Homo-oligomer: A and B are copies of this chain.
């Protein structure tokens, strides 16, 4: 009997997606330019029992904000489902909500409702967010020859940034308003995993080790995950204007290009040698093997 850990998170998602034809982006795109996304956060997986509740709330909300950002959208409304132990201090829940509200308000999103339930062991927070986008940017729009960009620095987020990161909502909206962004995704599982989600038929990527804005080692930048930075592709003729007009303190780095390839990701090492990049990053179930 096959178990979830045998096929891993992405194997499972592939199976489930057969019945959800339009899934595969950071948000579902609905009529009326609406974006819908949800994201579960669980104690022991996404945060520790000792993590301050306010940070748990911030993270749960910010992960969804980041998904709306990845499509170039504007966050609008959120609902919250929480599972709590009966022994949880009321103060903890109020702090959790303070964190949720704080992240939501910062980006103009309103919490409009929610539901609570009892759990015996592991508390969880599921935020579902509704946003709007005039022209949602999908994962699939890259063209051969495009330049590949990333915001911020990658790797090492487990040292604390995964709880306090700033979702790139403002950067993404600016990008999509001023430039024709071909494809975009937010880096949640790590560059070495998320880059694979931008592939389409006959299209691959080449990234340069020397260009990757790493917090620590290149390995950490590729595989740690939870960076929540933007990864996007753009016509190379727009690159000069993009660099000149970029108005954020957030770092912006060209790390590679879109190439004609059968869905592969190549990695040009510091020695100039090209090798295939392994598909790997945070996999919820594979980690449990």
Is A70 part of the contact surface with B, judged by Cβ < 8 Å?
A: no
Is A30 part of the contact surface with B, judged by Cβ < 8 Å?
A: yes
Tallying the copies of this chain within the complex gives 2
Least CB distance, A38 to chain B, in whole angstroms: 5
Least CB distance, A30 to chain B, in whole angstroms: 6
Contact A120 B122 (CB under 8 A): yes
Most buried by B among A7, A9, A16: A16
Contact B16 A93 (CB under 8 A): yes
Stretch at the interface among A224-232, A271-279, A281-289: A281-289
A117-B81 contact given A1-B91, A90-B6, A130-B36, CB 8 Å threshold:
no
Contact B83 A117 (CB under 8 A): no
Is A187 part of the contact surface with B, judged by Cβ < 8 Å?
A: no
Is A40 part of the contact surface with B, judged by Cβ < 8 Å?
A: yes
Is A79 part of the contact surface with B, judged by Cβ < 8 Å?
A: yes
* Bound: A89/B12 CA distance, A: 11
Stretch at the interface among A19-27, A137-145, A147-155: A19-27
Residue of B37, B85, B116, B119 touching A13 (CB-CB under 8 A): B116
Contact B121 A16 (CB under 8 A): no
A3-B86 contact given A38-B114, A93-B16, A119-B122, CB 8 Å threshold:
yes
Contact B87 A4 (CB under 8 A): yes
Is A222 part of the contact surface with B, judged by Cβ < 8 Å?
A: no
Contact A4 B85 (CB under 8 A): yes
A-B contact pairs, 27 of them (CB 8 A): A1-B91, A3-B87, A3-B88, A3-B90, A4-B86, A5-B87, A12-B93, A19-B97, A19-B111, A22-B112, A28-B79, A30-B76, A30-B112, A36-B113, A36-B130, A37-B79, A38-B81, A38-B126, A45-B119, A86-B289, A116-B284, A117-B284, A118-B284, A118-B285, A120-B121, A121-B121, A121-B122
User: What are the 7 closest A-B residue pairs judged by CB atoms, nearest first?
Assistant: A86-B288, A28-B112, A128-B128, A121-B121, A5-B86, A28-B113, A118-B284
